[in-house]
Structure 1
């Protein structure tokens, strides 16, 4: 803030020198503008740092208050005061920046009226800068007062800590006597723990045997599970084949039905063609009789032509009837063959379905066997783990009892030194 406040004075000196020399170069204020801009940026960063410090201090103060240390709130108030002071310093630096801009505008003015207006604006900026500096000084004084109050409270807490240290020293001498009594008890318990450790070693051997059995059962379970998975693969393949055979049988039945419909249609066409042949033959015979009767008569030629035409129609009808019978026979044969294939496909599908059912039955039996094997292995493993855990607990208890006995001896020897330690801590707190 102080460095930023110096730049408007430098700008005022430059303005006075320009007016005295009669020269008003536009770049005369560039250096002071750059410097005050740098100081403004520094104060803004200081505000950001102070704000983050205030947030962190408030979080730490909440923790201290939560553990019954309310003086932590003073830290937060100090950080907040520094934050407000930094904000005031930023405002003062920005006002200094505006003051330099006003000096540059005054220097750029050309006539007396414009210079008077610019000098009035410059005077207003100087007044605003003075007010900003006064506010910043007030905020700094408030922050300093908060720090002084915190120091006073810290001194009071040091005095209370000294009194508490004296009380702690007295309690340490009392605890020394209790420690000696507990030493004897700990040594007795250490002997009991040693006996428990011997029993634990025996149980550990039993646990090792159970673990070996568990591993054997686990191996059997893995083998059974592998067999079950292979049976599942076989069953899946069998079912897939059965489904394909059933699909083929369905298509064969559909083909047979289609061929039977075609055969029926061909037979109907054959019957119709036979009827046409018979009608054409009857017509031919009738016209031939008529032609015979017309011999020697004026219409003999006409009757003969009609008889010949009927003969041609009869031949065509006979050929058509023969072709229709052949097609009907072929269609009937195709239908019979299609039905035979459909029947055989259905039988194959039934056999495939039966094989798939057998495969799934084998898989179910293998899966059940694997499940039982895994259950036995899990039970054996659980028993082994529990036995081993109990053995480990017994060993740990024995070691812990021995450690407690050793610690009790050491504490009884050190108890007499706790009073001196309490005095040392008290002096440290006072410092």
Structure 2
């Protein structure tokens, strides 16, 4: 996510931090590079212009010039302004004062609207709500079948009517059915088109007037950059909406939509989708996203994901082993297997701070096949070898390689990764009171 933009900004900041003191010319040069990086990331030109002006106003003042660490101070200002650009504080989902709450999802075909409806149902179900889905997309082939299939996977009820050709009738009947089933949240998946047209907008206006939704959420594909912003502006002019769901954000290397859409439309990003799984919908936190863009990681989200994945007692026991330097290869393997449940390894990696002390490309490319290979190598070791890898001589490594169907190079790499992981875990275990990361998120290693 935002890999291209993040890499460019980190290079700019690295150069800034090499200066003991900064003069106005150096600051302006850095801002010029930041401006180019943002424009190349497909961020709206006016948004970039306003953002750079705000940063410059602060960066050439005493806040930076008299600072003991001016480079870090500039980074702090950029971080704060990016956070403000994306909304400042999270705009969390709200509910109607009287049940049921009705959410109407709108957007073009291909934006991920139907999948987002199911993901939102999963999100609300995890909050303790009783969601109900309404399949009112009558134009896209198999849209109704897709929502029915996803609802079964979630264990959520869905209303559909393949004979009706009027979205508002389906929505009205669906709400009645949802109320009858005792649902307190109803999510309507409306019909989209490949392009914005008057027919679609009139149809959505009719649905809106008929069901009077508590909130209308626009679903846009983050990977389309400025097209996503233009689509949002069109929807805002024709039907208006209350918030946005950005899909496919995990595949967006640039970040133009995420950085522009709030400033251009004035509407908050409510959720972001970071993967294909139904539990991949997350509340959008502007401060956390700014930190990730600037290479500072997103440790809080990582902690939250870990808290829903790892067993508390096992985590506490493991933390004690780390503290006492008793972490073994068996523990290492156990944590690899558990971390798979948190999502893709690349996603987990993206939430780690970028630091010279951390291995590059940690977890990148790790898959089930490689995990099985690691498991085979560790299980081919004796108990003493797993507890104390320092005794792994050349002959022992060859025996393990033969026993696991690998080679000594792969055994050597695993042992190196294990040692790097121990060092990293020791670093994380000193994060502080909120940073349960030392207990929770454990094996990050090169592949």
- Under TM normalisation by the shorter chain, which class is it? under 0.3
* TM-score with structure 1 setting the length: 0.22
Greater helix content: 1
The higher radius of gyration belongs to 1
